[in-house]
Amino acid sequence: MWRGNSPGGNPGAATEGTGGELGGQGNWGLEDAPGLLVRASLPIMPAWPSPLASSALTLLLGALTSLFLWYCYRLGSQDMQALGAGSRAGSVSGGPRGCSETGRPSPGSSGEPGEGPRAEGLVSRRLRAYARRYSWAGMGRVRRAVQGGPGPGGGPGVLGIQRPGLLFLPDLPSAPFVPRDAQRHDVELLESSFPAILRDFGAVSWDFSGTTPLPRGWSPPLAPGCYQLLLYQAGRCQPSNCRRCPGAYRALRGLRSFMSANTFGNAGFSVLLPGARLEGRCGPTNARVRCHLGLKIPPGCELVVGGEPQCWAEGHCLLVDDSFLHTVAHNGSPEDGPRVVFIVDLWHPNVAGAERQALDFVFAPDP
């Protein structure tokens, strides 16, 4: 057995290593290697007592829980502040209240029928409920819109002529009139259904004199000389009117982008008598495109959207972004008869499928 030497180099001063500490003076050999390895693997610091470890773990979990709750509180507070700012901005720049060509003003709204919950806090809660049920994926623009995200120049719209009263979806292409190719399928379907829709109007039409009671299905006038019969109102089907207008209803059922499941969506006949005028106003959202199918267009009728004048043509569709300031007028003579168009609200072509699903959830008609 090999013997270790003492620090002084004197072999005789060596002592036996049994029972000595690792690294201490003593004699050892190869047969002592397993014991030395066991001693080397022993922890240098003693382990914590079990009660102390449990207390530290409890404190750590409590701190993490408090931090998570604080983060949730801050996130909710910031959302509510942003929504409050958006509400104040909307009340200042929401555009004048007035009549729309489809739908009636409702209390507390900007003049559109059933524009969804006016209180932005309720809109925010519905969006969060949607995200919990599904996902936040693809919801960036919708979330910014619900939180009142500003448009170009610090406010929604282009140069102040586009001011949706309720929901401004950012980063959508903005133009008063939308090209027909943007909704080619639905435009061609409506135009091919022109004869059937015109027959349906003839079946439900009346003299519009205002001296007789309103026939069944017709809404009270939005303004002097402005009447409507709706097949869909604020996202709700009107069964009796749909049964009376089977051709129009069949066309609606065949559309791919009809906004039929939320409170922004309407469809029906709009009648404007000679001399009637709907003053300038803005619609509730830029997420929709309003399609006008001309049925009876006498001379002297005019539509001005965002400062650009246009006119309807019988049997042809005109796509309008009614979130722009717009005015409708019938300047013809009484002998010319009323102007009649069939109006359908379609999704803006640049609103993605996930965004449409989320907006349908958030602005679903009340049960």
Band of pLDDT at residue 196, cut at 50, 70 and 90: very high
C-beta separation of 324 from 306 below 8 A: yes
| Mean per-residue pLDDT, 171-190 | 95
Alpha carbon distance 284, 110 (integer Å) = 7
| Mean per-residue pLDDT, 66-94 | 49
pLDDT digits (tens, 9 = 90+) for 256-279: 999 999 999 999 999 999 999 998
Alpha carbon distance 331, 276 (integer Å) = 7
Q: Does a structural domain hold residue 127?
A: no
Q: Given a cut of 90, is residue 44 above it in pLDDT?
A: no
Q: Does a structural domain hold residue 119?
A: no
- Answer yes or no: pTM beyond 0.75: no
The per-residue pLDDT of the chain, averaged, comes to 78
Q: Does a structural domain hold residue 116?
A: no
Q: Given a cut of 60, is residue 152 above it in pLDDT?
A: no
Q: Does a structural domain hold residue 86?
A: no
Tokens of 260: 């039929």
Alpha carbon distance 143, 75 (integer Å) = 13
Q: Given a cut of 90, is residue 286 above it in pLDDT?
A: yes
pLDDT of residue 208: 86
pLDDT of residue 121: 82
Q: Does a structural domain hold residue 308?
A: yes
pLDDT of residue 169: 93
pLDDT of residue 49: 53
pLDDT of residue 56: 80
Q: Of the ranges 118-132, 190-204, 271-285, 340-354, which one carries the lowest mean pLDDT score? A: 118-132
How many distinct structural domains can be found in the chain? 1
Alpha carbon distance 346, 289 (integer Å) = 5
Q: What are the angstrom distances between the C-alpha of 306 and each of 113, 132, 142?
A: 22, 39, 24
- DSSP structural state of residue 2: -
Q: Does a structural domain hold residue 350?
A: yes
pLDDT of residue 275: 93
| Amino acid of residue 264 | F
Q: Given a cut of 50, is residue 145 above it in pLDDT?
A: yes
What's the CATH code of the domain at 235? 2.60.120.330
Q: Given a cut of 80, is residue 239 above it in pLDDT?
A: yes
Which residues constitute the domain of residue 285?
180-363
Q: Are strands 308-310 and 301-305 parallel, antiparallel or unpaired?
A: antiparallel
Q: Does a structural domain hold residue 245?
A: yes
| Mean per-residue pLDDT, 178-183 | 95
Q: Does a structural domain hold residue 297?
A: yes
- DSSP structural state of residue 49: P
More confident residue, 308 or 31: 308
Q: Of the ranges 51-65, 68-82, 214-228, which one carries the lowest mean pLDDT score? A: 68-82
Phi, psi of 191 (to 5 degrees): -70, -35
pLDDT digits (tens, 9 = 90+) for 100-125: 555 443 333 333 333 444 456 888 89
pLDDT digits (tens, 9 = 90+) for 130-140: 999 998 888 99
Tokens of 177: 């009139």
